[in-house]
Amino acid sequence: MKRRMSRILALTLAVLCTACSGRQTETEYGDSAVYSAETENADTVKEETTGSEEDVVPMNKQTGSGQIPEELEQIPEEYFGAASEQGTVERLEYQTWESMSYEAQTTQLTKTAYVYLPYGYSGEQQYNVLYLMHGGWSNEETYLGTPENPHELKNVLDHAIQDGRMTPVIVVCPTYNNTSSEDSADYGLALRLTDNYHNELMNDLIPAVEGKYRTYAEGTSWQELTESRSHRAFAGFSMGSVTTWHTFQYCMDYFRYFLPSSGNLTSDGAYMERLVTEAGYGSEDFFIYAMSGTEDFAYAAFTNQIQAMINAPGGIFVDADNERAGNLAYRVQEGNAHDGNAALQYIYNGLIWLWAEEK
């Protein structure tokens, strides 16, 4: 964004978010990669239970997200102030397990996520859900803030819903931080934690959220959550984008929509195709809306991944502006760097597109 938001302090270290070719066991970043200090705290953000492989779950009818414009929209200036119709931010605590030994389930953790509920939220109405992951040097408070100190993203959501620009949704901000709030500041550790995060996401966080709030899931069983996958999206910027790609890798049963921005996983398009086919899905079963900026250090590697996916031999990834024509859209903002301004713009553009035909 050309606009400098009053509370953003974008501290960016020199970074090379490059990916190695070919499938790797973990996230495919080169050993020389250094991560950026996004400094996304209260003062800086303006910026399994799995079913059996033999189970067959019918694909949901598409929910009808809208047409993606050629250019990304800027957030209106007035959206950063308080709206007259205000949603709320709630603190949600839930139980999970230490990430590195998750399968052994020997060390239980109590973690916190922050949940945005739109103005007029009612338990009588069903809501779509966006799970939004922070990047490095950040935590679950980064985007929404807290009930006591909400951040400007809340105002943006309030205004966009009030003006009919986006459908009322629930937004959930968790963290991949594990035993320390400083975990996301350790690049190598963060890579491992984002790769592991699907365990907590599927088994603990989603049931905690959708067991408490009214969504399209009729319950929290594997079947009930997979049957409502078209009403669930995952998004993230930078290391949150890496988490988004891992969610695509492991959690297609639970999500239809993926919004990665400025953080890549691999340059192997065929590998990305195998993630889809080995999960039992096809090109009609998901949509990826990817975004980045020309001045972002991650732009080149991120663009390489998108191009590799579109050019992959199986033809699974189809470049398109809407769900009827394909399953992958990529938009680039001229001049955007790797900072909180860009992150907020991408979140806003994703949300005014998601489930747009339900408005």
The packing angle between helices 152-162 and 340-353, to 10°, is 30
Per-residue pLDDT at 359: 66
Per-residue pLDDT at 64: 62
Q: How far apart (Å, rounded) are the C-alpha atoms in residues 283 and 318?
A: 8
C-alpha gyration radius of the chain: 18
Q: How far apart (Å, rounded) are the C-alpha atoms in residues 94 and 46?
A: 27
Tell me which residue of 145, 254, 240 sits closest to 193, measured CA to CA: 240
- β-bridge mates for residue 349, sequence order: none
Q: How far apart (Å, rounded) are the C-alpha atoms in residues 212 and 209?
A: 5
Contacts (Cβ under 8 Å, ≥6 apart) of 182: none
Q: How far apart (Å, rounded) are the C-alpha atoms in residues 21 and 34?
A: 18
Contacts (Cβ under 8 Å, ≥6 apart) of 122: 214
The packing angle between helices 269-278 and 299-310, to 10°, is 60
Q: Are 166 and 139 in contact (CB under 8 A)?
A: no
Per-residue pLDDT at 358: 76
- Sketch out the chain's domains with CATH numbers: 77-358 (3.40.50.1820)
DSSP SS3 for 295? coil
- Whole-angstrom CA distances from 317 to 8, 153, 335 are 35, 31, 27
Q: How far apart (Å, rounded) are the C-alpha atoms in residues 176 and 209?
A: 16
Q: E strands, the chain, where?
A: 88-97, 108-117, 128-133, 169-173, 232-237, 257-261, 287-293, 328-333
Q: How far apart (Å, rounded) are the C-alpha atoms in residues 243 and 260?
A: 8
Which of the 8 DSSP states describes residue 309? H
Q: How far apart (Å, rounded) are the C-alpha atoms in residues 189 and 302?
A: 21
Query: pLDDT tens, position by position, for the chain (359 residues)?
Result: 333 333 333 333 333 333 333 333 333 333 333 334 443 333 333 333 333 333 333 333 445 688 999 999 999 999 999 999 999 999 999 999 999 999 999 999 999 999 999 999 999 999 999 999 999 999 999 999 999 999 999 999 999 999 999 999 999 999 999 999 999 999 999 999 999 999 999 999 999 999 999 999 999 999 999 999 999 999 999 999 999 999 999 999 999 999 999 999 999 999 999 999 999 999 999 999 999 999 999 999 999 999 999 999 999 999 999 999 999 999 999 999 999 999 999 999 999 999 998 76
* DSSP string across 110-165: EEEEEEEE-TT--TTS-BEEEEEE--TTB-TTTTTB-SSSB-HHHHHHHHHHHTTS
pTM: 0.86
The packing angle between helices 187-200 and 239-250, to 10°, is 40
Helix (H) / strand (E) containing 199: helix 187-200
Q: How far apart (Å, rounded) are the C-alpha atoms in residues 256 and 269?
A: 19
